Structure 1
Amino acid sequence: MQSEIRLPEGGCDCHFHIYGPFDRFPPATEGRFTAARPFTIEDAFALWNRLGVTRGVIVHAVGSGEDNAVTYDALRRYPDRLRAVAILKPDVSDRRLDELTDAGFKAVRVTMIRQDGKPVSTLGTSYDDLVKLAPRIAERGWHAQLWIESSDLAAAAAELEKLPLNFVIDHMSRTMADKGHEHPDFRAFTERLKTGRYWTKISGADRNTRIGSPYADTAPFMRAIVQAAPDQVVWGSDWPHVGHSAETRPDHQVLLRLLHECVPDEATRRKILIANPARLYNF
């Protein structure tokens, strides 16, 4: 029996979501990425106690509404442990932007993932919204977190880079494992990390895999990212894994073993888990 892996003191989960309690923060939408039951910040802390997580970054969920209320509430109650990524629309007031900034929001998440040539969701912050928001959030030190596949990033990068922002790319650029880590667009993504303007989260192995747990087909992507730019990488659990069935929901020890296998050097792991998040999210 394998011993359980725990993160080092100061370790950060840079990608998780919260939902509810529903009597205060009811679901705003229905669909694949809306939770069927509450997953509160206290539930997240219970998981962190088992995994050794010290800090975390809430990625506000589309299913929790565009007012960011549940995430704002968590940050106000636990300011030392939490930072967050918002959903915004261009009509957000300067006063509200300042409130979110003061609470610990550091970015806006933009969904640019497509399926069969169409956006997977029309909810949340769009690319057009980002263009309008960019000068205002840049003034407040925010970045843009993009849920985008590496080929779409290759096509969009020239326009994106005209914006006065840095970029964090979700889930290793959401490149499905059968595409191959030598694909030119994925290699171009790892080269962008070297510029210092891009970051990525080595998360979402369970979403990028084609063969399932323990996600061995995603390991070459994770290794390539870390080899290319270890200073531009953070880690996230993606808890509570909304959209998975009970059969496909990942085991967190499997995710941590994958991290250790792909990043065997302890100093590099500590950089990814502690130093890089502190720099990116100003812990």
Structure 2
Amino acid sequence: MPRFRPPPGAVDAHCHVFGPQARFPFSDKAKYLPEDATPEMLFALRNRLGFSRSVIVQASCHGADNRALVDAIAQSNGTARGVAVVDPDIAETQLLSLDAAGVRGVRFNFLKRLVDDAPKDKFLDIAKRIAPLGWHVVVYFEADLLQELIPFLEAIPTIIVVDHMGRPDVSAGPRGPDMIAFHNLLETHPNIWTKVSCAERLSRQGPPFDDFVAAVRPLVEAFEDRILWGTDWPHPNMQDAIPDDGALVDLLPRLAISELAQRKMLIDNPMRLYWPEEVR
């Protein structure tokens, strides 16, 4: 259990479900085959950690088959929203069906170890199609691709959320080249948001993740209206070193110092993106 208790209404803005495989098989292009991580397991953990809502992000192992994602949202009684992966030729009726199910964004994955192809032109076509729905685009890439991707990002007509800050090298600190480049990206592109998540992947020191906090806290302070956070449960591809989710939650008051900053990161910002109808 974490020592820090999130404020009432807090949103875990990045988590996943896998399977159950008996109902929702993995894609034949999947690069990894995880154990089942069911909605029941996700919501039980969410309750233990003190969160009220979840944003479930379609993982690459399910490809563009969003049935497990939609099923999880349906089981949430309105407390979950989704980010889907869709094929470029998806029918308009299918997009509308996903919207009715609670999907509010699409994810574009540029990690070569997870996907075989990342066609920017087709991604842009998808982004233009989902813009009228009020959805946003989630982009997952590693730091060495940032400069190459900037023209692509600038062509997207929606809000963009960068997963895990584009996986920077946090060991170099807040003035390291990756963090400077990412800070400049946010500073010059007001439609780009980010998730300050995955300390368990990005820290070279490990718990209590001091290098991650030192590098990332200035980013939270500079862009507190465009910051999200999530557990990344069940931590895909970390089967040999599953992190303590409570320890990750205990990072939150070290990243967002004030109660106002915590509220923005955990409630106000994700609610604007995923439950705008409830934001007054």
TM-score (norm 2): 0.90
SS of equivalent residue, structure 1 residue 161? helix
1:154 to 147, 164, 170: 147
Per the alignment, residue 168 of structure 1 pairs with: 161
* % identical aligned pairs: 36
Q: Which residue in 2 is equivalent to 1:116? A: none
Written as runs of structure 1 = structure 2, the 5 A alignment for 1:111-150 is 111-113=109-111, 119-123=112-116, 126-150=119-143
Closer, same or farther: CA 4–102 of 1 in aligned 2, 3 Å: same
The 5 A counterparts of 1:74-223 are 74-113=72-111, 119-123=112-116, 126-194=119-187, 195-223=189-217
Deviation at 1:123, TM superposition (A): 4.7
Work out the CA distance in 1 between the residues paired with 2:199 and 2:142. Answer: 14
Are the aligned partners of 2:30 and 2:114 in contact in 1 as well (CA < 8 Å)? no
Pick the aligned partner of 1:58 from 53, 56, 59: 56
Moved over 6 A (4+): none
- Residue by residue over 1:58-103, the C-alpha shift from the partner in whole angstroms, topping out at 9 and shown as x without a partner, is 0011112421011112223335101111111111110001101121
CA shift in 2, pair 1:230/1:281, >3 Å: same
TM-fit CA distance, 1:121: 2.7
Partner SS state of residue 73, structure 2: helix
Deviation at 1:173, TM superposition (A): 1.9
CA gap 1:60/1:86 in 2 versus in 1, 3 angstroms: same
What CA deviation, in whole Å up to 9, does each residue of 1:18-58 have, x standing for no partner?
012222112224766431x2111110111011111100100
- Report the secondary structure of 2:87's partner residue: coil
Using the TM superposition, give the Cα deviation of residue 174 of structure 1 relative to its aligned residue in structure 2, in angstroms: 0.6
- CA–CA distance in structure 1, aligned partners of residues 271 and 214 of structure 2: 26
SS of the residue corresponding to residue 195 of structure 2 reads: strand
Alignment of 1:260-271 (within 5 A): 260-271=253-264
Listed one character per residue, the Cα deviations across residues 101-138 of structure 1 (whole Å, up to 9, x for unaligned) are 1211111111123xxxxx22325864343122121111
- Could you give the per-residue CA deviations for residues 139-190 of structure 1, whole angstroms, max 9, x where no partner exists? 2112111112344223321232122122100012211223443134432322
What does 1:9-28 align with in structure 2 at a 5 Å threshold?
Answer: 9-28=8-27
Question: In 2 relative to 1, CA 125–135 (structure 1 residues): closer, same or farther, beyond 3 Å?
Answer: same
| Root-mean-square deviation over aligned CA pairs | 2.1
Is the Cα contact below 8 Å between 2:15 and 2:231 reproduced in 1?
yes
94-103 or 75-84: which moved more? 75-84
Pair 1:68 & 2:61 matched: no
Structure 2: 5+ residue stretches without partners:
none
Normalised by the length of structure 1, the TM-score is 0.89
Choose from 269, 275, 279 the match for 1:282. 275
* Structure 1 unaligned regions, length at least 5: 114-118
Q: CA 1:128–1:183 in structure 2 vs 1: closer, same or farther (change >3 Å)?
A: farther
Q: In 2, are the aligned partners of 1:144 and 1:166 still within 8 Å (CA)?
A: yes
**Contact 1:68/1:87 (<8 A) preserved:** yes
